[in-house]
Amino acid sequence: MLADGIRFMRYILLFITALAICAGTLSARAQLAEQQPGTLFAYPQAPDTCATLESRCNYIITHFWDNFDISKPITDDAAFETTFRDFVEFFKYAHRNVVMVTVRDLVNKAQSNTSNLQKLGQVAERALYGPTAEFWSDEVYVAFAKPLASSKKLPKDVREHYAQQLAAMNAVQTGVTLDFEYIGTDGAKHRLSEFPAGTTVIVLFLDDSADSSIGRLRLSTDVVLNSLLDEGKAALLCICLNKYSADWATTAAGYATNWTMGCGETLSSQLDLRVLPCCYLLDGEHKVLTKALSVDALISTLNPNY
């Protein structure tokens, strides 16, 4: 609880810093000039010549690791992760090109220490890709994952872990036509491509967690979604990530009657399902419009005033 409180206060500090920078009311000397609890070092100060939020954040992330030698052993893993997550917070306000160059430079420097390279990959996954990520960005995460997947210094299983993530992300990029096989409640094999062209398709992926049960219930009672389904303007395919069984089929048959139910135990390793439950929104040609949407995000998309 104490650690959570410190993290919350640090995020408040970072947020206030960003607001103050944007408003031009914070001097360079006041910007995170002192080392914060649980971090590795004091963060850099942007000079007063950086007059905009973007230029200040560009400066901060460019010089963020100047006083830290990532080739030396990392002895405080918790402080390293905290510092890295703070580093990522500035990505939201910085220029894309600056972010990408800085990330590549950091990864290149970490290549000289295999242990540090592996730790960098782990914290990058949690901060940029996993369910606890504060900033989801496939482009930025790929800049970490790609060199890790190809680094012969890392164990084979570690390389394969990142290679699998890259394959899953590449398979479902925006604009890609999505198709996969699943088992229906009738026990037969079906494909997503069987849905008629011209119909918007929502694919809901679930596991056995309580969050998935709650998400399924919320969608099944959403008025706007049900109207779209009943009017034939959209279709919903609910995929349970488990092996087919007669018991599952009986249970699934009791779900929303205007949903198509299926199961696919291998899909979690084929598709980008980093958070569950999650939704994919497909256009009438089954091309990916948006992937890995949370249930809340889907409801917000369907209900602009939500």
In angstroms, the Cα distances linking 281 to 104, 126, 175, 202, 257 are 32, 24, 11, 5, 20
pLDDT at position 2: 38
Average pLDDT over residues 178-198: 94
In angstroms, the Cα distances linking 29 to 37, 43, 45, 57, 89 are 19, 11, 7, 15, 20
Q: Is the dihedral of CA 297, 303, 304, 306 positive or negative?
A: negative
CATH number of 181-302: 3.40.30.10
> What pLDDT band is residue 247 in, cutting at 50, 70 and 90?
very high
Facing residues of 281 across strands? 202, 290
What crossing angle do the helices spanning 96-110 and 114-128 adopt, rounded to 10°?
Answer: 150
Tokens encoding 5: 């409180």
In angstroms, the Cα distances linking 290 to 135, 149, 238 are 16, 25, 16
Q: Is the dihedral of CA 67, 73, 75, 80 positive or negative?
A: positive
Pick the range with the lowest mean pLDDT from 17-26, 170-179, 296-305. 17-26
| Predicted TM-score (pTM) of this structure | 0.73
Token pair 């420097």 is at which residue? Answer: 109
Q: What is the pLDDT of residues 133-158, one digit of tens each?
A: 878 888 999 999 999 999 998 999 99
> What pLDDT band is residue 44 in, cutting at 50, 70 and 90?
very high
Percent of the chain predicted with pLDDT > 70 = 88
What crossing angle do the helices spanning 114-128 and 156-171 adopt, rounded to 10°?
Answer: 30
Q: Which amino acid is at 24?
A: G
Q: What is the pLDDT of residues 2-38, one digit of tens each?
A: 344 445 445 545 554 555 444 443 333 334 556 677 8
Per DSSP, the residues of 120-148 read HHHHHHHHHTSTT-SS--HHHHHHHHHHH
Domain ranges of the chain: 2-171, 181-302
Round to whole Å and give the CA distance between 211 and 247.
21
The phi and psi torsions of 32 (rounded to 5 degrees) equal: 45, 35
Tokens encoding 270: 């084929």
